[in-house]
Amino acid sequence: MRRIIGLALALALGASAAQAQVPLDPNSHAGIADILNWRGEKQAKGFRDIEHIFKTHTVRRGKTVHPLPMAAKQIAPRFTYDGKTWTIDQYMAAYRVSGLLVLKDGKVVLEKYALGRKPADRWTSFSVAKSVTSTLVGAAIQDGKIKSLNDPVTRYVPDLKGSAYEGVSVRQMLMMSSGVKWNEDYVDPNSDVAKAGGAVTEPGVNPMVSYLRKLPRAHEPGTTFNYNTGETDLVGVLVSKAIGEPLAQYASEKIWRPLGMERGGVWMTDPGDQERGGTGISMTLRDYARLGLFIENGGVANGKRIVPRTWVAEATRTEIDNGTPAPGGYGYFWWIRADAYEALGIFGQSISTFPAEHLIVVQNAAWNAPTGKEFSAARNAMIEGVRAAVK
């Protein structure tokens, strides 16, 4: 149930503000609602080639690629789900998984591709991008650009002064607990998530900031978890303003280059030309795994500390009750379960890390629906099969 709730909420982020990204074709009305309706080859091709559909910024890689060594012994998990025994190939075919990679002790023990995808192909992240944005907050703290998580957001986004965000801290934003009223009902065309950030309405003000600063307060900051897509984009704006450069450039400096990513990434932008903090990063399957390994290693890349020493421990533990059974909950844009922390996105995107086992399971997929009980249960069963196979 915990993962089902998390994925249902991740759907809201994937849905995001309906037109808060920019089609390359000016005559196109393609928005995230259209993406939710993609199926079959259109879906698989679109998830691989999002930069040919929407405007993006490039996240440049460095000159050196960090190797992911192959383990001497590869695994071939078999697991039971829905009353029958499954192989990994059967699972991938049934649930339209384009890539599955497992790291055990930093070595690849399983790597498979499908849906016409090749190892060099990128795949869009949907909500997994939130965890990247959280990591960039940590990097900005390490660099002294953000002084403290207890700082008010208005210090970095002064356009929010006088709004319901007055007195809200950076930490509370990362915990989805600003207290600002927000309706995340994607099926309601009048919801905030359907209307926010779709156009520049105030010149010089980011479109999401412009929308959010008009909303009222519903709860005291820090008291109530309320999944808010707009605020994940807002944190991206906050980081950009704090560091004085685009998010894609900072992600290159703090993640892609020091981690030795094998291919440059792309990051979707909003109508104000701001990278979206909550969605739309594309990278290769192995680069998703490198991101997972970086977090498992405590935020150190190539011997250099990128985030504060305590950052990963804080970000990947329960910071607020999000309605899931204890000890699960929500950290700083990470979903927390009893023995793992996860970055989750709709249509089957995930990085699941079991730190005590030094195990990372990365999946990219094109599920036939954004989320659902069956999809979550099948992925859970697959992951448990992987855990059993590596013991």
Q: Give the CATH number for residue 56.
A: 3.40.710.10
335 domain residue, yes or no: yes
pLDDT tens digits for range 182-207: 998 867 888 888 888 888 999 999 99
100 domain residue, yes or no: no
9 domain residue, yes or no: yes
pLDDT of residue 34: 74
Burial of 115 (0-12, 13-18, 19+ CB in 10 A): buried
Q: How confident is the model at residue 110 (pLDDT cuts 50, 70, 90)?
A: very high
pLDDT of residue 190: 85
Which letter does DSSP use for residue 76 in this model? -
| Residue 260 φ then ψ, to 5° | 70, 45
82 domain residue, yes or no: no
State which residues form the domain around 232: 2-71+122-351
pLDDT tens digits for range 118-162: 999 999 999 999 999 999 999 999 999 999 999 999 999 999 999
Q: How many CB atoms lie within 10 A of CB 339?
A: 13
367 domain residue, yes or no: no
167 domain residue, yes or no: yes
Using a cut of 0.85, tell me whether the model's pTM lies above it. Answer: yes
Give me the number of domains the chain comprises. Answer: 1
357 domain residue, yes or no: no
Token look-up 């906050």 returns 238
Tokens of 123: 């795949």
322 domain residue, yes or no: yes
pLDDT tens digits for range 352-391: 999 999 999 999 999 999 889 999 999 999 999 999 999 9
pLDDT of residue 325: 83
Write down the H helix ranges in the chain. Answer: 2-15, 32-37, 40-48, 88-94, 128-142, 170-174, 192-195, 207-212, 229-243, 247-251, 257-259, 285-296, 311-315, 373-389
Share of the chain above pLDDT 90, in %: 82
